[in-house]
Amino acid sequence: MALTLWHNPRCAKSRAALALLQERGIAPNIRLYLKSPPIEDEIVELLRHLRVPAIGLVRTKEPVFSELDLADSDDEALVAAMAAHPILIERPILDDGTRAVIGRPPEAILDLI
């Protein structure tokens, strides 16, 4: 099973999730989604793996969320906003290609392995 960690190395929770995996001898593929932003189709696929609506993947406390007035947006608008502003994507996320989990708290990623 190939694991991909959607990772932001500046985020303490993301670093903690990576450390949890490494402590168990797991070396996931690292997706630096801020440097290589996902396209809308990738976000839609990730949402399917997470089994959550788009708002479940959005960092609603990011200033850009308010700046773009996204509070009442539908899934399509939220996906477009995340593609345009990947800082809106919650992290960390561990994806096995079929299922995914958001690492909030970081230990939640262990549910996938």
Which sequence positions are flagged as catalytic? 11
Of the pLDDT bands very low, low, confident and very high (cuts 50, 70, 90), residue 1 is: low
Instruction: Give residue 80's pLDDT.
Output: 98
pLDDT at 102 over 80: yes
Report, as an integer, the average pLDDT of 49-63.
97
Separation between Cα atoms, residue 112 and residue 25, nearest integer Å: 15
Q: What is the CATH number of the domain that holds 89?
A: 3.40.30.10
Average pLDDT of the chain to the nearest whole number: 97
pLDDT digits (tens, 9 = 90+) for 62-100: 999 999 999 999 999 999 999 999 999 999 999 999 999
Percent of the chain scoring above 90 in pLDDT = 99
Q: What is the pLDDT of residue 35?
A: 97
Residues 6+ apart with CB under 8 A from 50: 56, 57, 93, 100, 101, 102
Q: Which domain holds residue 35?
A: 4-112
Number of structural domains found in the chain: 1
